[in-house]
């Protein structure tokens, strides 16, 4: 498991997407689930 800080930002979301594409699990902490849900892969 990898924790990605800034996962809802421009660079962080690219990192999460790349990890997801490689079958890896990433965890993201965010201030608002509502705001983060739209910019992270399911």
Cα separations (Å) of 5 from 19, 31? 13, 12
Task: Please provide the distance, in angstroms rounded to a whole number, between the alpha carbons at the two ends of the chain.
Answer: 16
Reported confidence tier of residue 39, pLDDT bands at 50, 70, 90: low
pLDDT in tens, 6-30: 887 888 889 988 998 999 988 877 7
Indicate whether this model's pTM tops 0.95.
no
Q: Which is more confidently placed, 38 or 12?
A: 12
CB atoms closer than 10 angstroms to residue 30: 16
Q: Which residues span the domain enclosing 20?
A: 2-37
Cα separations (Å) of 3 from 11, 33? 14, 16
Task: Reduce the DSSP state of residue 34 to 3 states and report it.
Answer: helix
Take residue 31 and report the two structure tokens written for it.
């201030």
* Number of compact structural domains in the chain: 1
42 lies in some domain: no
8 lies in some domain: yes
């Amino acid at each position: 498991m990898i924790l990605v800080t800034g996962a809802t930002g421009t660079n962080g979301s690219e990192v999460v997407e790349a990890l997801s594409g490689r079958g890896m699990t990433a965890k993201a902490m965010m201030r608002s689930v509502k705001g983060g849900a739209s910019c992270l892969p399911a």
